[in-house]
Chain A
Amino acid sequence: MSSDRFLAHTAIGDFLEGLVQTGYTVYCPQKEPGVRQSVIFAPWQKGLPISLEKATVAPKHLVLPQSEVLFRYSKHKESAEPAKQSLTLDANEIFTPTLLFASRPCDARGFAILDRPFLQGLFRDPYYARRREALCVVSLTCPSGCATCFCHWTGAGPSSPEGSDILMTEIAEGFVLQGITDKGKELLLASKLPEAGEKSQEATKARKAAWQSLSPVQDLSTAPQKLAEIFADQAFWSQATQACLACGACTYLCPTCYCFNITDESLDGENEQGVRLRSWDTCMAKQFTEEASGHNPRPDKAQRMRNRISHKFSSYPENWGSFSCSGCGRCVTHCPVGLDIREIVLKAIHAKTAQQNEKETS
C-alpha cells in the first residue's frame, strides 16, 4: 500500500497540531520577528503563521545546536585536603522528538552530509546521534531553481531524497507527501491525512518540471583532483580570497559546515560547578587553529579559504564520497563582499597547475 498522503493547504495547521499532540516539537520556516527578509526555523505553535520560503539559515541547529551542554561538572570539597575531594560529571541526555517541516532538499542533504563524520567516523558522536534519531525531516521539494542555488551541480537536485524522511511536493490544492524512510512512511500511515491517490502523478509532474527549469549543470567531477593539485598554489588562493572579510557568515549559514569549539563555563564564578559546552565555530577565523605558542598552521585567510573549499570539494569527497556542499547557495546570497564559491571551484578546475605553467614557459 502506498504511503503517499495528501495535505490540503487549509489542513496544514491541523496536521502540525496533531504532530505536536503526539509529542513532537515541530520546527517550520517562519518570518523572524523584527528582522527584515529573514526566515528562520523556529518552534511552531497553534495559530502561528508558517512561511514556505527557503529559510535564510539552514536547520542544522536541530542536530548541532549553536551551543549545547556536553556535561556538567561539580566538585565536592568536604575537606580542604585535595585528596579527599571528589568530582561528578553528568552528561546531557535529554533529546526530544523533533519534526522539521518544509525544509528544502538541500537542507536535508546537509543532514546526510553531516551524518558521515558524526556517525561513521572512528568515533560516533552520541549527542548528534541522539538528536538525529529523534528528528523527522519533511522536505518541501523546490518548484524551480534560483539565481544562487546549484544543487544539481553537486549531485543532488530540487527533489533529492537524501536526508529526508518525507518529501512533500506542492500541487494545485495542497501537497503530496511521500514517505522516503520507514520513519517517514510510518508517520504518514499513522496520520489522518487522506491517501494521495492520483494526485501522486501530479506531484511527479511538478518535480519533473522543476528539474527542467534548472540552469545548465556544470561538471565539477574533476574538482577533488584539481584542488589537490593546486593545494600549494599560494597565488591562486590569495587571489581568490582577496575580498574575504573572514566574517564567517558563509560557515554559519551553511547546512554542511560543522566546525565546532569546546569550552568550559563556570556556573558559580569559582569553578566548583560548571558546564562543558560545544558551540559553532568557523574555520575562517584566524584564532581557529592558532596555537598557544603563537604558531598557526593556517595564518592567512588564503589558507583558511583553501581549507574550507578543499574540505568541501576535495578532502570530504576523499573520505566520504560526495561533495560536502548541497548547493543551497546561502553563502553566495549572503556574502557581504559577494564572494561566490561556484566561481572559486570553477576557477580551480580550470587553473593551470605549476607543472603546466612550467611546460609552457620552457
Chain B
Amino acid sequence: MADIAKTSPRMLKGLAPRPMPSGNPYLPQTARVLDVIRETATIKTLRVVLEGEDAMQRFHFEPGQVAQLSVFGVGEATFVINSPPSQKDYLQFSIMEVGEVTRALHRLTAGELIGVRAPLGNFFPYADWLGKNIVLIGGGIGMAPVRTIMLHLLERASDYGQISLLYGARTPKDMSYQYELADWLKHKDLACCLCVDKADSDWPHKVGMVPEVLKELAPSPQNSLAVLCGPPIMIKYTVETLLNLGFAEENIVTTLERRMKCGIGICGRCNVGSRYVCTDGPVFTCREVRAFL
C-alpha cells in the first residue's frame, strides 16, 4: 500500500492489445464425483475426475491453488485443491457443510456431475523455500490447504530442511484425514504433532489450542518458514505466537479466505485494499496482510 502515489493518479494506464484467450473463464469444466469420504460430522471429502479424454493429464495446478465448484442450480463456492499436483487420478476437495452450496455438495454421490473452474489464484512459493525448515500448521478445515503443500514438499523432502506439521482440531472426532494420520506420524521426513482442544480418555497426543501447543514445541525461527491455515481467530493468535518465537513477518505464510464469486479479480468481493484474494492470493505472507487479519 506504501508506494501508491508515485505515479500520477490522473491518467488511465494504456490499454495493451491482448489476444482473447480461447477459454471462457466463467464456463466450468465438468467433473464426475469418484468418491465421497465422510471426514467428520460436518466435513466431507470429494474426489472428482475431470470429464473428457486426457482432461486429468492436461490439467496442471500448483499447491495452494483453488477451484470454484458448481452444483448447477445451486451455485458456486471456492475450495482449495487438497490433493498434491502429482495425483493425476482425481482432484480432492474437503468441504465443511456451512451454507447452501456446501450443503448441496454434501448431498452428492459417486457418479454425479459437478462444475469445476480451476486452477485459480496463486500458490505456495515452495521453489523459494529450498533448504529451509518448514513448519506447517493446520487448524480444523485449514488442514486442507496444508495437506496439499505438505504432500508436495514430502515428495521432494531432500530439497528442504526439517519438515514439521502441527495439526489441531477441537476434538479427536473433528480431525479430518484420520485414515492418513498414522502414516503422517511415522513418516521419516515429517515431524508430526497432533493436538485437540478437548481430548477424550484414549487420545495419545497433545491437548491444547494450536497457539499454546506451538509455544510448547517452540520451533526455531532460524532458516525456517511457517505456513499456517485455519479459522481467522486461530490465525490471529498463532501469528502472535510465531512473532514471539522470532519468526519474521515475511517468513510467515498464510492463506486468506473471502467470499468469492467471479474468482478472476473483477467482482469486488474479496479485495483487501488493492489486492484481490482470488488472483493475488489466497497465499500471502503475514507482512502483506497483517493489517487485514
Contacts and interface: CB of A to CB of B under 8 A. Distances in A.
Interface of A: 70-71, 73, 75, 81-83, 85-87, 89, 91, 112-113, 115-127, 129, 154-155, 162, 220-225, 228, 231-232, 258-264, 266, 271, 274, 276, 278, 281, 283, 288-293, 295, 297, 307, 310-311, 313-323
Contacts, number: 192
B204 interface: no
Interface in B9-37: 9-13, 15-16, 18, 20-21, 24-28, 30, 32-33
Given A89-B27, A117-B266, A264 B72 contact: yes
Nearest to B28: A89
Interface string B73-111: 111110000000000000000000011111000000111
Contact of A289 (B20, B259, B279): B259
Contacts of A310: 273
A87 B72 contact: yes
A276 B24 CA distance: 14
Nearest to B73: A271
B291 A224 contact: no
B280 to A, nearest CB: 9
A322 B279 contact: no
Contacts of A162: 12
Interface string B111-144: 1110100000000000000000000000000000
A322 B1 contact: no
A73 to B, nearest CB: 5
A68 to B, nearest CB: 11
A314 B98 contact: no
The 3 closest A-B pairs by CB, nearest first: A292-B99, A271-B73, A82-B111
Contact of B10 (A75, A228, A291, A322): A322
A70 B261 CA distance: 13
B265 interface: yes
Contacts of A315: 271, 273-274
A321 B265 contact: no
Contacts of A291: 99, 257-259
Contacts of A123: 21, 25, 264-266, 279
Contacts of B266: 117-118, 121, 123, 125, 258, 260
Given A264-B73, A315-B274, A221 B10 contact: yes
B246 interface: no
Contacts of A311: 268, 271
B20 A155 contact: no
Interface residues of B, number: 62
Contacts of A155: 9-11
A122 B75 contact: no
A145 to B, nearest CB: 18
B264 A122 contact: yes
B262 A81 contact: no
Given A119-B15, A322-B11, A262 B110 contact: no
A283 B109 CA distance: 36
Given A121-B279, A262-B262, A283-B268, A295 B232 contact: yes
B261 A261 contact: yes
A85 B113 contact: yes
Contacts of B24: 91, 126
B9 A224 contact: yes
B197 to A, nearest CB: 18
A116 B257 CA distance: 25
A256 to B, nearest CB: 11
12 contacts: A71-B26, A82-B33, A83-B110, A85-B111, A89-B115, A120-B13, A120-B16, A228-B2, A281-B268, A315-B273, A321-B12, A322-B11
B206 interface: no
B269 interface: yes
Contacts of B20: 124, 126, 129
A314 B4 contact: yes
A224 B111 CA distance: 52
Given A83-B32, A117-B266, A293 B98 contact: yes
Contacts of A317: 4, 9
A259 B268 contact: yes
Contact of B265 (A87, A117, A261): A117
A231 B273 contact: yes
Given A120-B18, A289-B258, A113 B27 contact: no
A156 B13 CA distance: 14
A320 B8 CA distance: 11
B121 to A, nearest CB: 10
B25 A271 contact: no
Given A117-B266, A260-B267, A291-B259, A81 B111 contact: yes
